Amino acid sequence: MMMTEAPARATLLALAAATLCLACRNEQPTSAPTDASTDRAPASAGEPATRGLEAGLATIDGADLARHVELLASDAFEGRFPGSAGETKTISYLSAQLARFGVEPGNGESFLQEVPLVATKPGARRFAVRRASARRGARALSVPDDILFGVERYRDRLTVSGRELVFAGHGVVAPEHGWDDYGSTDVRGKIVLVLRGEPGEDAAAPDPKFFKGRALTHHGTFQAKKDAARERGALGVISIHDAATVPWKTIAGGANKTSYRLADSRAAVDLQGIMRGAVVDELLTLAGQDPASLRAAAERAEFVAVPLGLEVDAEVETAAEPVRSHNVVGILPGSERPDEYVLYTAHWDHVGVDAGREGDRVFNGAIDNATGTAALLELAEAFASLEPRPARSIVFLATTAEEQGLLGAKHYVERPLYPLAQTAGVINMDALFPFGETRGMTVVALGSSELEEYMARAAPAVDRALFPDPAPELGAFFRSDHYPFASRGVPALFAVGGPSQDPSAGETVDLQRYVDYIQHGYHQTGDEYDAKTWDMGGIVQDVIMYFHTGYHVAVDERFPNWYPHSEFRPLRDAMRSGAG
């Protein structure tokens, strides 16, 4: 799971907690659509069609999964960092396995889709703010004490002179909620300041129908805010740090770390950063604004972005090194509608080797995400064993650089090998728990799309039920490789197996194993395969559910959609109308 932001550990903890009975509440399993306005089942309603599936199901084997994980998470694969010798071994292994199963190359005659990356490290930086009418008296901000910033669209030097600063509230544009923080304000060539999250989420009793209450939606992500600003011609976006979230000290600790980005991204602003909230308040006061009043105004629908009469002078130098990485893509063409696709994805990368570390230096990434990658291979073998094949084509996508910001998936959706409008759905697999058979399946953002109906029908095959994410405000939905597809409108599903959240299930689990992984395994050298303690039973259940879910999407005639309340529904409707 992506760890480019400090809350990532808390997010995974929430996912683990979602699989545990820790929430002190009586959750009931979900077996039907959760959107009140949608009560239809998949077109093939009734008992799931299983004829012909036996050959595929018979290939799904815990020992096979374990062998894949053991190899991928071995020291020989050096933590599977993009562009390293570990990548070469990983993509060679994945390509060879797909070919062995009879899966066809997904990119012409190749299993590889090149993903050009740039490794960047910030150099000298300065950032000063002054009144537009003043030539002197600029307020110089300290890096990293006051602000962290850099370039998103790579250049070795970016110089900004006299660019106006605009307070854009939350920086949200959400037509479905009648919300537009920009309105008629012209932000072309300017730098916008945006609050975290979404309107109304900090209310004493947030309205669950208004930006989903406390749950984070797409509109509250920094990526969505950057996209909205970029589409309106803004030069840069600065997020306002909230002291109630991650401590500034934690964020500042990454001030000089090397970061990675797509070398040829079509969606980037020139300058991005984060500024301490107290410093922002000082600047608002300098602009003659009352910070508390302005923040309060940003919670009302009539708010429009406010030019502050302040100008920014800034400069940043960036050292860069090109990195050549790859997604691995295979396809099994459909028997009837080969130009329609069901796509499975799992990221193959992890965080590599720390050469300066004493003792164990390899971050093996066994659970995160050799398990999901192994599941991808097991699904490829299962689908390749079916005769006849499903009507739709099945695509297997092992992505690179997820840990660096979902970069492999972002590259794919910007340059899809198969049309997104013809992609019926995406099923993502990330960090599966090897702690034995369980009775639950946590669906992140449950209630979002019709894909969940197919998974709900699949759950009884392994005696499971579906449960929601108990901490949607942490935004787990936006931190794995299904999200770039969702952000373009493609229905996408992210679900993780674990214990039931229903006390009446009578399930007993060793909760400490989940806690131990979060504390000692996640993104640490302790995330290693251990044949003595790993029980693959739960992952086998996961794979069977993923298999049934994808199969029934692949034999259905309809294209699943997001539910009407979803922020992604208009994107899918527009995409499909263009495809028709």
**For all residues of the chain together, what is the average pLDDT?**
89
**pTM of structure:** 0.89
Cα 182 to Cα 170: distance, rounded to the nearest angstrom: 10
* Residues paired with 345 in a beta bridge: 397, 428
Q: Which two tokens stand for residue 478?
A: 């936006």
Q: Where are the beta strands (DSSP E) in 168-279?
A: 173-174, 179-180, 191-194, 236-241, 259-262, 271-276
Average pLDDT (353-382) is 95
Nearest to 100 by CA among 381, 307, 305, 312: 381
Cβ-based neighbour number of residue 579 at 10 Å:
12
**pLDDT value at residue 260:** 92
Average pLDDT (61-78) is 98
Tell me, what DSSP letter sits at residue 176? G
> Cα 88 to the chain's mean position, in Å?
24
Task: Answer for the pair 538, 438: CB distance below 8 angstroms, yes or no.
Answer: yes
Count of H-run helices and E-run strands, the chain: 15, 18
Q: Which residue has the higher pLDDT, 459 or 19?
A: 459
Domains of the chain: 8-22+42-117+325-579 (3.40.630.10), 119-321 (3.50.30)
Q: Which two tokens stand for residue 194?
A: 């945006």
**pLDDT value at residue 145:** 95
Q: In which band, very low, low, confident or very high, does the pLDDT at 23 lie, cut at 50, 70 and 90?
A: very low
Sorted by sequence, the CB contacts under 8 Å of residue 525 that are 6+ apart come out as 357, 359, 360, 361, 362, 363, 364
Cα 543 to Cα 553: distance, rounded to the nearest angstrom: 15
Does the pLDDT of residue 35 top 60, yes or no? Answer: no
Nearest to 480 by CA among 570, 565, 374, 397: 397
In degrees rounded to 5, what are phi and psi of residue 22? Answer: -105, -10
Does the pLDDT of residue 76 top 70, yes or no? Answer: yes
> Cα 481 to the chain's mean position, in Å?
5
Task: Answer for the pair 147, 127: CB distance below 8 angstroms, yes or no.
Answer: yes
Q: What is the residue type of 405?
A: G
In degrees rounded to 5, what are phi and psi of residue 133? Answer: -90, -5
End-to-end CA distance of the chain: 35
DSSP per residue, 389-441: PPSEEEEEEEES-STTTSHHHHHHHHS-SS-GGGEEEEEE------B---SEE
Nearest to 375 by CA among 441, 432, 426: 432
pLDDT tens per residue across span 169-201: 999 999 989 999 999 999 999 999 999 999 988
Cα 293 to Cα 108: distance, rounded to the nearest angstrom: 58
Least confident of 48-52, 288-292, 300-304: 48-52
Q: Which residue has the higher pLDDT, 12 or 308?
A: 308
- 3-state SS, residue 52: coil
Cα 112 to Cα 109: distance, rounded to the nearest angstrom: 9
The fraction of the chain above a pLDDT of 70, given in percent, is 90
Torsional class of 78: left (φ above 0), alpha (ψ -120 to 50), beta (otherwise): left
Q: Which two tokens stand for residue 297?
A: 């105004």
Q: Which two tokens stand for residue 121?
A: 């490290």
